[in-house]
Amino acid sequence: MSTRYDAHVLIVGGGATGGGLAHDLALRGLRVTLLERGEVTSGTSGRHHGLLHSGARYAVGDREAGVECIRENMILKRIAPGTFECNDGLFVAVCDEDLEYLEPLVEGCTGAGIPVQRLNRAQALALEPNLNPELKAAVRVPDATVDPMRLILRFFATARHNGADIRPYMEVIGLLVHDGVVTGAMVRDHVTGKEGEVHADLVVNAAGPWSERVAAMAGAQVPMTPSPGVLLALHGRYCNMVINRMHKSGDGDIVVPQRGLSIVGTTSWVVEDPDDLSVPEDHVERMYAEGSKLIPALRHAERRAAWSAARPLVGAAGAATGRELSRTFQTFDHAEKDGIEGFVTITGGKSTTLRGMAELCADVVCRKLAIDEPCRTRENVLLPHTAYYSEAVAA
């Protein structure tokens, strides 16, 4: 650890974004407090299907996102060993129409630096015998799977070890604003039921789909369109690799194994309130229908759970399904945007790129605080997820 700084950064939101940022800033020697209204990763971050993207899903339409994913995929496998099922992924063509996506996919992956290998039907079935036996072709890419919470806990654990104060069950109920400067937050502690204030030199809004609501507490604007998707968990592990449909992103285009379960995802629509998430039964039925095109046995697999998660998409309201909005992230310095000092929002993005997002946001934070420290998160191997609990005792 290098220099310790007095500068105190308050992060609002205990998901992937906040966890990555707390770790990055703590490694740079800043004082960090992170507040989360519930358990860490209780919002969107803990609820995804468990895919560590290779970038192949984005390589055709958005090469930049593909490059970003493969870079972060390789960094995360290095800094969080033992947290991923590194079984690769397949993109599977189950009809002639899917084959039209084959060449663009291979070309896109190659262009983005994503290792890719073509497989014929027999090769694909030898790897994954439960695949649709009528499949036309497959492409193998370095997708992996992850327990979303356990990966993010490693960031929180390491941040705690480096001095960050990670506070779940501490809800931000208002921001302290004096003369156009955000100086901290009003909080309600759900452990004691008491209210209080936390003061800071800079507040970072990392509240995911709740970012618009947190920004509004300071009178700032962050246009968010929370976009839920339904995911379906089925009893039985029908594959070891991540199975993707070989066509452009759509409903029910992925099956991800998790322990003794198979997860089918997902749909996409938009809501105004990220707490208002239903699980429409027709979406569940669509997961069964689309998932079983990839793995026919899923048709009769027993339902373990169906749930919704709200993607934190950045963009104006009015979008129809959310698929037309960007999956990349944005950092807003509200001094430039709204004339409010001491307040930064980072939002959007996806779990695979959480470290990279944090690096860019931490650069903005350090610049604003006139601190010159490099990012060290590419090399720093994270503590195991269980250290989140033992570091809490030590703290």
Q: Enumerate residues 127-156 that contact another protein by CB under 8 A.
A: 127-131, 133, 140-142, 147-150
Check binding of 272 to another protein (CB under 8 A).
Answer: yes
| Min separation Cβ 355 and another protein, Å | 18
Among the listed residues 204, 217, 261, 354, the single contact to another protein using CB under 8 A: 261
Identify residue 191 by its one-letter amino acid code.
Answer: V
Among the listed residues 1, 74, 216, 317, the single contact to another protein using CB under 8 A: 74
Check binding of 216 to another protein (CB under 8 A).
Answer: no
| Min separation Cβ 235 and another protein, Å | 10
Among the listed residues 3, 110, 321, 326, the single contact to another protein using CB under 8 A: 110
Contact 316, 288 (CB under 8 A): no
- Binding window for another protein (CB under 8 A); candidates: 159-167, 233-241, 315-323, 340-348: 233-241
Among the listed residues 115, 196, 339, 374, the single contact to another protein using CB under 8 A: 115
Check binding of 279 to another protein (CB under 8 A).
Answer: yes
Check binding of 322 to another protein (CB under 8 A).
Answer: no
Q: Toward another protein, which CB reaches closer, 34 or 149?
A: 149
Check binding of 16 to another protein (CB under 8 A).
Answer: no
Q: Which residues from 78-97 bind another protein, rule CB under 8 A?
A: 82-88
Among the listed residues 273, 285, 324, 379, the single contact to another protein using CB under 8 A: 273
Among 199, 216, 76, which residue's Cα sits nearest to residue 145?
Answer: 76
Write the CB contacts of 88 (distance below 8 Å, at least 6 apart in sequence): 140, 141, 142, 143, 144, 241, 242
- Binding window for another protein (CB under 8 A); candidates: 35-43, 207-215, 311-319, 370-378: 35-43
| Min separation Cβ 2 and another protein, Å | 30
Write the CB contacts of 123 (distance below 8 Å, at least 6 apart in sequence): 138
**Alpha carbons 236 and 158: distance in angstroms, whole number:** 34
**Alpha carbons 290 and 131: distance in angstroms, whole number:** 13
| Min separation Cβ 377 and another protein, Å | 20
| Min separation Cβ 270 and another protein, Å | 12
Check binding of 305 to another protein (CB under 8 A).
Answer: yes
Q: Which residues from 176-205 bind another protein, rule CB under 8 A?
A: 188, 190-194
| Min separation Cβ 354 and another protein, Å | 15
Q: Toward another protein, which CB reaches closer, 297 or 319?
A: 297
Burial of 171 (0-12, 13-18, 19+ CB in 10 A): middle
Check binding of 50 to another protein (CB under 8 A).
Answer: yes
Among the listed residues 67, 75, 99, 117, the single contact to another protein using CB under 8 A: 117
